C-alpha cells in the first residue's frame, strides 16, 4: 500500500550535526553564512548549533556567537540542541531560538548504558523531572523521540514491539504531566534500517498512535537513506530530518564510515519529483550544498549539487 503525504516538513540539521563532526575548526562566520543561506531556501526549520560542553565538543564552543550572528528570517524556526538544563539555559539566554521540549528514549539498553550509564528503568524514571524542567521554563513538550529504533551496533536488531512499548511509555509520562505528544520521531541512529523494516516499525507505531504525526531521522551509513525515506513516505510519514549536502558524515574511511542524515536536497528532489510539497527552492538549496562543500573543504556525499535538478532541465528544454 502507498500512502504518500501531500506535503512534508523537513528539519534541516546540517549546521549542527554537520559541523560537529568535521575535523578542524569551522570559522563562525562560515557557519553563520550557511545558516543565513539555508533560511532563504524556504526551509522553515533549521537546527543551527548545539549547546554542549565546549571542553567535550570544541567545534560547538561558538554556539552563542552563531546564534547572535545569524539574520532571523520571519517564518523560520531556528532551533538548537542541548543535553541538559545547563544547555537549555544557554539556548534560552540567546533569546533568538525556537524552543521546544522533547522526550528521548533509547530502544537499545546497551547503547543507553554506554551513552548515559543508565538502565531502562533509570531512563524512564528520569523523564518526569525533564518534563518539569521544560514546564518550569514555559516550554511545551510535544515531541517524543526513540533512539536506535531499528538496530544498534552494540545490541543488534531491535524488536519493533519494543519501540511501540517505548512510545506508549513516553506518551503516558507526558500525559501524567498534563502534556500530550503530537509528534513521534524514530531514529535510525546507526543505520540499521531497511525499507521493509521502516514499513514494519512505522506501521506498528502508526497503528498504535493514529493521533500523532510521525518523523524519521535516517542515517545514510549504508546507502539506504533515501530508500528508507521513500518507505517512510509510503507509510505516511510527514516529518524528516535531513542535512544539506549530506553534512554530518563522510563516505570516506577517514571518518570510519559513519555517514550523516539523508541529504536534504536529494530528498527534496525525490519529493518534488513525486509531487510531494516541501516548500523548498531546490536550486537555492543546491547552492547551499555547494557552499557547505566549500566550507568543509572536502567532497560531501549529496548528489543533486552536482547532478542537478530535473525541474531546471525541464525549464531549459521548454525554453529551447
C-beta of 60 vs 269, nearer to a second copy: 269
As a whole number of angstroms, the distance between CA 13 and CA 15 comes to: 6
Q: Give the interface size with a second copy as a residue count (CB under 8 A).
A: 54
Under rule CB under 8 A, residue 222 binds a second copy: yes
Cβ neighbours of residue 138 under 8 Å, at least 6 residues apart? none
Phi/psi region, residue 118 (left: phi>0; alpha: psi -120 to 50; beta: rest), is beta
| Least distance (Å) between residue 226 CB and a second copy | 4
As a whole number of angstroms, the distance between CA 84 and CA 275 comes to: 40
C-beta of 74 vs 256, nearer to a second copy: 256
As a whole number of angstroms, the distance between CA 80 and CA 20 comes to: 13
Under rule CB under 8 A, residue 42 binds a second copy: no
Under rule CB under 8 A, residue 236 binds a second copy: no
C-beta of 76 vs 229, nearer to a second copy: 229
The dihedral built from the CA positions of residue 14, 15, 21 and 24, taken in this order, carries a sign that is: positive
**Catalytic annotation, pick one of 152, 250, 263, 271:** 250
Asked whether 106 and 153 are in contact (CB, 8 A), the reply is no
As a whole number of angstroms, the distance between CA 45 and CA 41 comes to: 11
Under rule CB under 8 A, residue 47 binds a second copy: no
Q: Which stretch binds a second copy (CB under 8 A): 7-15, 42-50, 154-162, 174-182?
A: 154-162
Residues in 250-279 that interact with a second copy by CB under 8 A: 251-253, 256-259, 263, 266, 269-270, 273-275
Cite the beta strand spans of the chain per DSSP E: 9-12, 45-51, 77-82, 101-106, 141-147, 151-152, 156-157, 183-188, 213-218, 239-242
For residue 47, give Cα distances in angstroms to 17, 212, 215: 8, 22, 15
Under rule CB under 8 A, residue 314 binds a second copy: yes
Under rule CB under 8 A, residue 220 binds a second copy: yes
Concerning whether 250 is annotated as a catalytic residue, the answer is: yes
As a whole number of angstroms, the distance between CA 48 and CA 78 comes to: 6
Contact string (CB under 8 A) for a second copy, positions 274-303, x = contact: xx-----------------------x-xxx
Contact string (CB under 8 A) for a second copy, positions 172-211, x = contact: -------------------xx-xxxx-x------------
Under rule CB under 8 A, residue 29 binds a second copy: no
Q: At what angle do helices 28-38 and 282-296 cross, to 10 degrees?
A: 170
**What is the binding site for a second copy (CB under 8 A)?**
1-2, 4, 151, 153-157, 191-192, 194-197, 199, 220-224, 226-227, 229-231, 251-253, 256-259, 263, 266, 269-270, 273-275, 299, 301-304, 306-310, 313-314, 317-318
Instruction: Provide the annotated active-site residues.
Output: 250
Amino acid at each position: 500500500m502507498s500512502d504518500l503525504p501531500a506535503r512534508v516538513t523537513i528539519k534541516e540539521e546540517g549546521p549542527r550535526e554537520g559541523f560537529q563532526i568535521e575535523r578542524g575548526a569551522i570559522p563562525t562566520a562560515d557557519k553563520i553564512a550557511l545558516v543565513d543561506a539555508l533560511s532563504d531556501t524556504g526551509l522553515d526549520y533549521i537546527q543551527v548549533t548545539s549547546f554542549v560542553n565546549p571542553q567535550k565538543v570544541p567545534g560547538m564552543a561558538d554556539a552563542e556567537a552563531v546564534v547572535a550572528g545569524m539574520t532571523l528570517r520571519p517564518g523560520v524556526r531556528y532551533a538548537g540542541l542541548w543535553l541538559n538544563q545547563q544547555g537549555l539555559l544557554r539556548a534560552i539566554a540567546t533569546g533568538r531560538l525556537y524552543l521546544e521540549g522533547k522526550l528521548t528514549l533509547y530502544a537499545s539498553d546497551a547503547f543507553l548504558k554506554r551513552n548515559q550509564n543508565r538502565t531502562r528503568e533509570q531512563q524512564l524514571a528520569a523523564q518526569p523531572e525533564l518534563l518539569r524542567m521544560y514546564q518550569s521554563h514555559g516550554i511545551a513538550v510535544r515531541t517524543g523521540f526513540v533512539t536506535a529504533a531499528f538496530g544498534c551496533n552494540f545490541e543488534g536488531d531491535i524488536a519493533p514491539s519494543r519501540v511501540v512499548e517505548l512510545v506508549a511509555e513516553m506518551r503516558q509520562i507526558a500525559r501524567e504531566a498534563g502534556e500530550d505528544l503530537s509528534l513521534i520521531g524514530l531514529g535510525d541512529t546507526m543505520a540499521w534500517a531497511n525499507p521493509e523494516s521502516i514499513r514494519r516499525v512505522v506501521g506498528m507505531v502508526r497503528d498504535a498512535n493514529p493521533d500523532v504525526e510521525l518523523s524519521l531521522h535516517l542515517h545514510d551509513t549504508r546507502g539506504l537513506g533515501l530508500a528508507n525515506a521513500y518507505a517512510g513516505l509510503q507509510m505516511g510519514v510527514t516529518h524528516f530530518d535531513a542535512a544539506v549536502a549530506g553534512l554530518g558524515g563522510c563516505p570516506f574511511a577517514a571518518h570510519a564510515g559513519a555517514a550523516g542524515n539523508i541529504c536534504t536536497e536529494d530528498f527534496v528532489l525525490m519529493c518534488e519529483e513525486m509531487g510531494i510539497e516541501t516548500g523548498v527552492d531546490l536550486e537555492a538549496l543546491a547552492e547551499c550544498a555547494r557552499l557547505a562543500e566549500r566550507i568543509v573543504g572536502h567532497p560531501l556525499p549529496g548528489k543533486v549539487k552536482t547532478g542537478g535538478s530535473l525541474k531546471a532541465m525541464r525549464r531549459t528544454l521548454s525554453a529551447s
